[in-house]
Amino acid sequence: MKKNGRVRVVVTGMGTVNPLGKTLDEYWDGLIEGRSTARMVEGSYATEKLNTKFACEVHGFDPTLYMDRKAAQRMARFSQMAVAASSMALADSGLDLSKEDDFRVGVDMGTGIGGFIEMTGGAISYATKGRLNPLYAPMIIPNMAAASVAMAFHLRGPNTTVTTACAASTHTLGDATRIIQHGDADVMLAGGSEASLCEVGISAFNAIRALSTRNDAPEKASRPFDRDRDGFVPGEGAGTLVLESIDHAINRGARIYGEVAGFALTCDAFHQVAPDETGEAPARAISLALQDAGVEPRDLDYVNAHGTSTTLNDAGETRALKIALGDEAYKVAISSTKSMIGHLLGAAGAVEAIATLLTMNRGLIHPTINYENPDPQCDLDYVPNVARRKDVHIAISNGFGFGGHNAVVVLKKYEE
């Protein structure tokens, strides 16, 4: 089935491992309750030398619930989480892989860094002991999450990895959609995974002053669009969405969460880590994505913002929304998932797209928590602190990354 001359692509399954939970319901309940997951780090890595001593961690993650112990030992944490999220997404979709042509099922995974915990641990081991894990190289490279998912489920279709920093897994949703529309696959697992919480990783972000240092109240540290924001809170996790052509989904009687209706990419071409304060490039991405979906700004019900809680990003994203949406920017509901789970870097977009689709299906918009002091530069409706009941038919999810990468996906409630 085609619309406007192209194959329609729908989402039929979702899975996530993130600081709020390891199932969709745990994740959703935490979002609607407005629960912060930022806590002081205790034991997972040393914080004595760090300016930021807290994070949004995934506690109690057991990879052997999703794979055998030998396979888990051969994977970095980010790959383990990718396989776990993909296992849940496939189960949620009801897809029977035994009935599929495995060359027609592919994987597109995003990550900002790859196996950073294992990379730094291995480097320290080599420098101090002269030893490396024999699997060091294949464990740490960024493509190994996508490769591990493919090997876990014997998926031999298109397989790729996107590393456009914090835009990566929003980027994968668009790329996977186009792979299906081009006819190269019937089903794609699209998403992202990130596990970079370690002393070196936090120190690196501290060095560029990107992180909050609110060590006296970590649960209040992630406060997107608030006047007193002082940086993002680091997090970890993974999210996978099962994308299918609409004919494939209908023919197997799949439950459909929504449709990937539009997508666009732009680049600031401005700075390594700072966004262009004009907001012009992300605004163009928003406009082009809406155009790709065939919808107008007035049709938009909800924006899942990139909303990092950094001074420059939040002001720039607000400016971009005003440029792209005009007066409609003041009427649309906007919220930031990162206010509760922190910044999952390359995994953020997928996990936030899952939140957006759950919003469509459950008629509630999760809040932006810790929004206490309005910022004159951020004067839109950020759904402060309390969830809001609203029917959402059309939404966008924004992903903006270091290097000026901008990715925007348009999601629509499914209609025949």
> Which amino acids are annotated catalytic?
166, 306, 343
Question: In whole angstroms, what is the distance from residue 327 CA to residue 97 CA?
Answer: 47
CB count in 10 Å sphere of residue 10: 25
Alpha-carbon span 403 to 317, nearest angstrom: 15
CA distance 393 to 402: 30
**Over the chain, what HEC string results?**
CEECCEECEEEEEEEEEECCECCHHHHHHHHHHCCCCCEECCCCCCCCCCCCCEEECCCCCCHHHCCCHHHHHCCCHHHHHHHHHHHHHHHHHCCCHHHCCHHHEEEEEECCCCCHHHHHHHHHHHHHHCCCCCCHHHHHCCCHHHHHHHHHHCCCCCEEEECCHHHHHHHHHHHHHHHHHCCCCCEEEEEEEECCCCHHHHHHHHHCCCECCCCCCHHHCCCCCECCCCCECEECEEEEEEEEEHHHHHHCCCCCCEEEEEEEEEECCCCCCCCCCCCHHHHHHHHHHHHHHCCCHHHCCEEECCCCCCHHHHHHHHHHHHHHHHHHHHCCEEECCHHHHCECHHHHHHHHHHHHHHHHHHCEECCECCCCCEECCECCCCCECCCEECCCCEEEEEEEECCCEEEEEEEECCCC
93: amino acid identity, one letter: S
Angle value at C-alpha 160, between 155 and 164, nearest 5 degrees = 145
> What are 413's two structure tokens?
């409630």
Q: Say how far apart CA 1 and CA 124 lie, in whole Å.
A: 54
Q: Report yes or no: 293 and 412 within 8 Å, Cβ to Cβ.
A: yes
Q: Are 148 and 83 in contact (CB under 8 A)?
A: yes
